[in-house]
Chains A and B, each alone.
Chain A
């Protein structure tokens, strides 16, 4: 599915870490890896130098891992330039790090991360780097909704990342509690929840089995965003991989936005995948 992977690098440490995730993915799936740095016009030389140094470090490591690699440096508007590179090189997936300022903006509207995920004609993996100690994730949490869009790509991506680091995957479905008007919240045991598991989740698990990934699943009633961060913190997960929000602005205002909550509160690194490869 992924033949060409691009990682956007800049002067920030988290972009370097995000690029390393791309590097390991490229190694696992045998893809060609492109590193690109787009210098904005009028950017300070020191910033340019730092980005160059980061590029060099990644380049050396990628070479050590025998990855087919290409480094690109451009000048201009990052979103526009990266978009051009993606189109020109027919990139399958692009990695970019989210910035803290992205997290602080409500619905992370108007941020480079969001612009990239909307503008790029390929799949986008937005990486939020928060923990520098867990270099190779061993425990990956994959929260799933009952209905999973782009199921094939999401399961492929999760399996590939797990393979890259030899990790186990834990699937989490945080579902709305069942309520009735007079009885309020109805308590269901895990076995009863199990019976209510959606076909898509079962299908996702079948896909992981196909990729021979060890996985466990857990269903919890509660608000999705908060349940994910609690699970990630309680069980010391190293990485969370979740799908990008499909909720519109109005929906986010009234119902909340789980992706936004996880982005803000994640206790470990987070990859938000915006898949573009259609299910066959």
Chain B
């Protein structure tokens, strides 16, 4: 038993109210109990705590410990530069936290957009008097008065109606105005025609109702709750970065501790061991990785904007690349949303016949709410198409509409009573099933004959054949109203009609869609169509655009509702799936089940009730043209052209971003080895420290940044959309990447930097075993050479990292101009560090001779050539 199934008196009784409304005192009491009638955000982690969590994860804690020890060292051994180091490490922690936070941050504005759909003031009856109150003060039991143009403030049970029609689009997605009744209705509240829901709007007429549910407990509040509460969780990239940083931080900490202990064993002093431990930790941590990833994502989002996809939060750029399933609407996304009449079919004639002066086009023209304004037709696309075809065919018809029984999703038809010439007619149109069941005659030639079983079967056959052509089919019927006949209700009107025929309308597919779907197939991405259309129409369109090639699995809305989660799991494992006669509210369940299966899901939506599914999906895609503000705010990506092909382009971009992130992570990680080897040499070989910690930070947060970013803007490789989606278990930091960076590229760079260091030392007369003070010019020049060697080999490395297997010439040596800008920046910054007094002061460097650069350049060439050889062998092995 629900409120919609009760009579008005029972509603009064259950809500303990009366036709005079509540008393002011009782309303106040109920307000205290039920709270304000408003949309509230669910309690979430405050932004400041989210930011603080970026300062307290494993890697950050490790760096805090390093900074703390640096400050402690400064206290014990002042003047050794440990204060600068400590501050630099704290800077690194904050830089990383800010960039991680930027990636995660997304302004939550969906609820603000939803709040706009509720009214500010509302008319109620209290103490027997009509009064206007703030809508947020409405309580269960209040008698509410609504009229044309009003927004409904709460879920109300209608008790009096004056031809009221409401637009339920925010809840159901159907923009067709729906009439409301006052009589009891058995069934679910959401489908009940005697309920006006919060957030909907009165299109015409007026009504009186009793509020039974307010605020977050209304149907509208339910959507708001879900929109606010559901979370997609961390993006795949964010998860990978967490994993990668944990692996690296653990390695760094373990190596640091191991050699710290080893240092004691081989007789190094505590101070030496301490510098080493911090140095090796800082060297092995890729401090610049997170800022570079964030900036690369930002650049990716810029490129996507140029391709008509607006990205709302940065992490989504990469998430797009991992999408394995797209759940898409049909109308407007796969199709053009430009309805046009394609076929007119009657039972016993090819063309629409005319009986008693009424043709099928008369019904199409008159039983239609399209309006002509300034030479344009305004209305729902299907109605506009019918109106246009009918007007073109029969021109304007003099008539007077006497009454209308509007379309509703339960009857699936509309009817009007219209007087034309000297007669009055009931004209009806709707879904074939709903019209055929109220017809008892049809016309055969010019005769009206009883509608027998055989004719009914023939009709079904006929409309199935139209649907199989991908057409949306509407049926038309009429009858003449007898003189003196009283029509009090739609049941009186919609009976014993004469079936006229069908009109098939086509919403042509977008021309780019078939190609985009083919691309998805090659890329191993499944597409699931979710549409309100009938199964046959949906299947025909799906076949036309190549979405279904075989038999396909079609699940109708009613069937879907009966399915248990386990059954749905099984259905969703199929390859080609269409959900027909579905409403947007069911999308959330589909997305949930797909996510449970481990899929990475993109879902499209445009209505208010799409918002929870858009939030829950890995990528929520809203429509820029047809979408509501709520859907746009709840989504991760807005399609500026509402076009499915744009999603596929965005996925291609996302995949490219991931590939590019791998490229620059290889580049960044390679430089960690020449940063770490000097420390190992320092502790094991008893030589002066070849590279200071500040110099390491100069590489990680300075010279490496722009070339890495340039790698982030590499163009997609030709095969990027021919590979299956990345597996969930595939790691960003996998063994091939680590071994290539650490054991191959890194080792060549390490050889170069140690060579540069010893070249200067021996050139300056240094002998093995001599320890030099940190302010010794020779020592400073040697560390500068070591640093310069890393910078120079990183130039060779940036070219090497542009591909993992393809030769550089095949992708075009000059095809990425940003690489050259990055290298120019890298060299410029290094010149500043080596030759400018400020650079010398900050990084403890000293100018080196120009020939030194020439000595080191062959290492960059060697690295590049060795990498090209490795790629060649890799390609050869794959053949």
Contact = CB atoms under 8 A, between A and B. Distances in A.
B555 interface: no
A99 interface: yes
Contacts of A268: 217
A23 B569 CA distance: 40
Contacts of A13: 16, 29-30, 33, 140-141
A13 B597 CA distance: 44
A189 B190 contact: no
Nearest to A187: B598
Contacts of A12: 29, 33
Contacts of B728: 187
Nearest to A11: B29
Contacts of B35: 100
Nearest to A268: B217
A190 B33 contact: no
Interface in A197-254: 216, 218, 226, 229-230, 233-236
Interface stretch (A68-76, A78-86, A126-134, A152-160): A126-134
A123 interface: no
Contacts of A134: 2-3, 189
Given A181-B246, A190-B596, A132 B226 contact: no
Contacts of B216: 265, 267
Interface string B115-145: 0000000000000000000000000110000
Nearest to A98: B33
Contacts of A1: none
A184 interface: yes
Contacts of A101: 32
A189 B34 CA distance: 39
Contact of A267 (B141, B222, B230): B222
Interface string B23-54: 00110011011110000001100000000000
B588 interface: yes
Nearest to A216: B564
Contact of B229 (A136, A216, A233): A233
Nearest to B192: A133
A236 B14 contact: no
Contacts of A182: 243, 246-247, 250
B77 interface: no
A132 B42 CA distance: 21
B598 A236 contact: no
Interface in B220-254: 221-222, 225-226, 229-230, 233, 239, 242-243, 246-247, 250
A16 B15 CA distance: 10
Contacts of B188: 236
Contacts of A135: 1-3, 6, 14
B148 interface: no
Contact of A131 (B217, B243, B565, B612): B217
A14 interface: yes
Contact of A265 (B225, B564, B569, B612): B225
A101 B35 CA distance: 10
A133 B219 CA distance: 11
Interface string A238-280: 0000000000000000000000010011011000000000000
A46 interface: yes
B538 to A, nearest CB: 25
A63 B248 CA distance: 73
B155 interface: yes
Residue with the highest number of chain B CB atoms closer than 10 Å, among A13, A16, A101, A182: A13
Nearest to B224: A233
Contacts of A100: 32-35
A183 interface: yes
Contact of A264 (B3, B43, B190, B564): B43
A226 B229 contact: yes
B106 interface: no
Residue with the highest number of chain A CB atoms closer than 10 Å, among B25, B141, B229, B230: B229
Nearest to B155: A133
A138 to B, nearest CB: 8
A229 B229 contact: yes
Contacts of B25: 46
Contacts of A235: 589
Contacts of A54: 16
Contacts of B243: 182-184
Contacts of B664: none
B598 A189 contact: yes
Contacts of B2: 133-136
A266 to B, nearest CB: 9
Residue with the highest number of chain B CB atoms closer than 10 Å, among A133, A136, A181, A189: A133
A229 B16 CA distance: 28
Interface string B133-176: 00000001100000000000001010000000000000000000
Nearest to B240: A184
Contact of A14 (B33, B213, B564): B33
Given A187-B728, A234-B612, A16 B16 contact: yes
A270 to B, nearest CB: 11
B589 A131 contact: no
A218 B140 CA distance: 33
A184 B217 contact: no
A115 interface: no
Contacts of A90: none
A164 to B, nearest CB: 12
Interface in A71-126: 99-101
Contacts of B564: 216
B189 A184 contact: no
Interface in B71-96: none
B213 A131 contact: yes
B507 to A, nearest CB: 30
Given A183-B243, A189-B597, A99 B565 contact: no
A130 B155 CA distance: 13
B596 A189 contact: yes
A173 to B, nearest CB: 13
A235 B155 CA distance: 18
A52 to B, nearest CB: 13
B212 interface: yes
Nearest to B596: A190
Contacts of B29: 11-13
A99 B30 CA distance: 11
A185 interface: yes
Interface in B238-275: 239, 242-243, 246-247, 250
Contact of A184 (B190, B230, B242, B566): B242
Given A182-B243, A182-B246, A132 B225 contact: no
Given A12-B29, A189-B596, A265-B225, A234 B246 contact: no
A135 B16 CA distance: 13
A235 B568 CA distance: 15
Nearest to B246: A182
A184 B16 CA distance: 53
Nearest to A227: B229
A184 B239 contact: yes
Contacts of A46: 25
Contacts of A265: 42-43, 216, 225, 229
A230 B33 contact: no
Nearest to B15: A132
A182 B732 CA distance: 12
12 contacts: A13-B30, A100-B35, A130-B217, A132-B14, A132-B141, A132-B212, A133-B4, A133-B155, A226-B229, A230-B226, A233-B229, A267-B221
Given A13-B33, A184-B239, A184-B243, 12 more contacts: A12-B29, A13-B16, A100-B33, A132-B15, A136-B2, A182-B247, A187-B728, A190-B566, A190-B596, A265-B42, A265-B216, A267-B221
The 4 closest A-B pairs by CB, nearest first: A133-B3, A136-B1, A133-B212, A132-B140
Interface of A: 11-14, 16, 46, 50, 54, 57, 99-101, 130-136, 181-185, 187, 189-190, 216, 218, 226, 229-230, 233-236, 261, 264-265, 267-268
